[in-house]
């Protein structure tokens, strides 16, 4: 079942669209009637007025179906991508490391993940968020079950970057 909740911001965008369509439709009808000519403009105006009335009813009276706005689609795609980066980052953080070969493999995959995440954030998020991800800092603490000091530092940096990613959907 799709998520049927809409925000006040989305509702206000729909209401602006409804007012615009209704106003334009009524204006076309009145302009056509004022010229005393029967033309197709009356039908276009009536269609726009009906579309505006439908949208207003869908937002204010009944929960009628409305397509997703472009901003909603972008927001959902952004959240989906952040979620994918979070899952991938948590998998990296949870990976057990018991020797130097495992640490080298983890560092290489972390670099790949971090580079892809940084490039995506620079393209799709605010510059401040991209900078916070690139230079992630947080409280210094020892993480148990670390292979050695380098593994501990890598896990801390990964934890701080995950915190930055976790905060992104709240701000969007």
pLDDT at 112: 95
Side-chain half-sphere exposure of 30, counting CA atoms within 13 A: 7
The runs of H, that is alpha helices, within the chain are 8-34, 40-60, 70-94, 100-124, 127-134, 149-171
pLDDT at 120: 93
Domain boundaries, the chain: 8-60, 70-171
Query: Structure tokens of 19?
Result: 């007012």
The list of the chain residues with pLDDT below 50 reads: 1-3
Phi-psi region of 36 (alpha: psi -120 to 50; beta: other; left: phi over 0): left
- Whether the CB-CB separation of 164 and 120 falls below 8 Å is answered with no
pTM of the model: 0.65
pLDDT digits (tens, 9 = 90+) for 113-136: 999 999 999 999 889 888 988 888
Rounded-to-integer distance, Cα 149 and Cα 152, Å = 5
């Amino acid at each position: 079942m799709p998520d049927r909740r809409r925000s006040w911001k989305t509702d206000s965008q729909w209401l602006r669209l409804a007012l615009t369509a209704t106003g334009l439709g009524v204006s076309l009808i009145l302009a056509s009637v004022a010229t005393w000519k029967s033309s197709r403009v009356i039908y276009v105006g009536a269609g726009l007025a009906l579309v505006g009335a439908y949208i207003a009813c869908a937002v204010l009276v009944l929960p009628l179906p409305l397509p997703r706005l472009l901003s909603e689609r972008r927001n959902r795609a952004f959240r989906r991508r952040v979620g994918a980066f979070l899952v991938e980052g948590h998998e990296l953080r949870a990976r057990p490391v018991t020797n130097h070969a495992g640490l080298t493999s983890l560092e290489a995959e972390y670099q790949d993940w971090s580079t892809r995440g940084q490039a995506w954030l620079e393209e799709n998020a605010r510059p401040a968020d991209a900078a916070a991800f690139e230079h992630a800092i947080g409280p210094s603490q020892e993480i148990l079950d670390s292979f050695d000091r380098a593994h501990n530092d890598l896990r801390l940096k990964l934890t701080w970057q995950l915190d930055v990613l976790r905060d992104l959907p709240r701000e969007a």
